[in-house]
């Protein structure tokens, strides 16, 4: 009978030891509420708040590419907590992406893609018609555009009309002296490649 008791006691100790080993070997766990696979934001940006449940004392959230248009607060905490992801307005005609990397217990536990929609492309200038004298001259055009833009002179006007220096918001147009004895008119086209967005600038040069 004693032998049976010893066997039962030994079996119980084995089960208890196994359960303790399973609990101690359990890895870091991290979940969100609501459940998250990715984050989507509109062009206007905004903020989204989530609950985080963790069985480890330290967690942190980092932007993979360090983009300044995303802010996470708080970016670290202990065990269960709450965090918010805030995204600035997107004023460029380009979709924006980044990834949030969530670490817990020193391990990378989750990666969440952050996507933000883009506004429609648009381009405009501070005027669409310019009158210049017959003498050689140049002038600046101010450009408002939310994407990469280009400019070109109509081929038939390249003999007297050309493009000077340009920046993201300014274009310099150069006019040669008009010695033809007649007034003339040319055009400069500003456009966003791959889109239908463009604006035409008429340049009129007198003959005296």
- Both 138 and 178 in one domain: the answer is yes
**Residue 127 within any structural domain of the chain:** yes
pLDDT digits (tens, 9 = 90+) for 55-92: 888 899 999 998 899 999 999 999 999 999 999 999 99
* Domain that residue 92 falls in: 28-116
Residue 104: name the closest of 73, 58, 72 by CA: 58
Buried b / exposed e over 66-89, threshold 16 CB at 10 Å, is ebebbebeeeebeeeeebebebbe
- Both 34 and 97 in one domain: the answer is yes
pLDDT digits (tens, 9 = 90+) for 164-179: 999 999 999 999 999 9
Q: pTM above 0.85?
A: no
Domain edge (last residue) among 100, 116, 132? 116
**Residue 88 within any structural domain of the chain:** yes
Domain edge (last residue) among 69, 94, 116? 116
């Amino acid at each position: 009978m004693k032998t049976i008791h010893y066997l039962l006691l030994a079996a119980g100790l084995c089960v208890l030891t196994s359960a303790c080993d399973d609990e101690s070997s359990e890895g870091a766990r991290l979940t969100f509420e609501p459940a998250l696979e990715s984050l989507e934001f509109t062009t206007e940006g905004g903020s989204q708040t989530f609950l985080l449940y963790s069985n480890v004392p330290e967690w942190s959230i980092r932007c993979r590419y360090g983009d300044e248009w995303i802010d996470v607060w708080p970016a670290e905490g202990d065990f269960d907590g709450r965090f918010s992801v805030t995204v600035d307005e997107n004023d460029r005609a380009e979709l924006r992406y980044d990834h949030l990397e969530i670490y817990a217990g020193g391990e990378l536990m989750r990666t969440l893609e952050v996507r933000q929609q883009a506004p429609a492309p648009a381009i405009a200038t501070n005027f669409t018609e310019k009158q210049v004298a017959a003498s050689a001259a140049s002038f600046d055009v101010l450009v408002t555009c939310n994407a990469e833009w280009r400019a070109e002179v109509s081929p038939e006007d390249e003999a007297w009309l050309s493009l000077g220096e340009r920046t993201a918001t300014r274009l310099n147009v150069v006019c040669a002296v008009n010695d033809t004895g007649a007034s003339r008119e040319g055009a400069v086209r500003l456009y966003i490649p791959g889109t239908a967005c463009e604006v035409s600038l008429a340049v009129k040069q007198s003959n005296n």
